[in-house]
């Protein structure tokens, strides 16, 4: 994927990895396990890419994606979190994976960062790349009353589409 195809913020995060800016990535990782936007070291890396006067949920999505990206900077241009989690089915214990994924789908926006941190850590351990641009877009709509259900449905469709009911 070229930088022109990527969301500008994701292209910037990818450049931090490419340029081996370990200090910047460490600052971004300090946001893990904390409410999005509460790690002051992240400000200099995230604020320049925020839209002017963003609504809180949009700002939180940027901070969350930045910290998660710094944890696992493997990047793909396809799929959503449902596709990425579905790629782990071959690893075994499908029942536990489904429980984990279902809990993430049901997560309240305030709890979603913890579920995503665990999911991204698991994806990292299995070397599954993440479509960070799609995740950024999805997180901006997660808590929206009109669109949040569609994001969850898209993830669920990607995760369970492989399973066809028996005739």
In tens, the pLDDT along 35-77 reads: 888 999 999 999 999 999 988 889 999 999 999 999 999 999 9
Per the structure, how many domains does the chain have? 1
> Residue 127 belongs to what H/E stretch?
none
Does residue 9 contact residue 49 with C-beta atoms inside 8 Å? yes
Does residue 132 contact residue 72 with C-beta atoms inside 8 Å? no
Coarse DSSP helix, strand, coil percentages of the chain, rounded to the nearest 5 percent? 60, 0, 35
Whether 120 maps to a domain, the answer reads yes
Regarding pTM above 0.85, the answer is: yes
What is the arithmetic mean of pLDDT over 117-136? 97
Whether 78 maps to a domain, the answer reads yes
CATH code assigned at 50? 1.10.520.40
Whether 1 maps to a domain, the answer reads no
Whether 16 maps to a domain, the answer reads yes
Whether 2 maps to a domain, the answer reads no
Query: Is pLDDT larger for residue 44 or for residue 4?
Result: 44
Domain holding 151, by residue range, is 8-158
How many residues would you count in the chain? 167
């Amino acid at each position: 994927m070229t930088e022109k195809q990527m969301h500008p913020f994701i292209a910037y995060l990818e450049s931090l990895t490419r340029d081996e800016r370990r200090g910047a990535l460490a600052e971004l990782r300090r946001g893990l396990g904390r409410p999005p936007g509460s790690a002051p070291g992240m400000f200099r890396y995230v604020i320049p890419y925020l839209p002017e006067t963003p609504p809180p949920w949009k700002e939180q999505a940027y901070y969350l994606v930045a910290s998660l990206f710094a944890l696992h900077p493997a990047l793909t241009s396809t799929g959503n979190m449902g596709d990425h989690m579905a790629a782990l089915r071959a690893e075994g214990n499908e029942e536990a994976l489904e429980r984990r994924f279902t809990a993430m789908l049901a997560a309240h926006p305030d709890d979603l960062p913890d579920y995503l941190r665990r999911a991204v850590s698991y994806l990292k351990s299995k070397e599954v790349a993440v479509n960070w641009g799609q995740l950024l877009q999805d997180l901006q709509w997660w808590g929206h009353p009109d669109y949040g259900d569609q994001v969850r449905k898209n993830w669920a469709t990607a995760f369970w589409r492989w399973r066809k009911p028996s005739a």
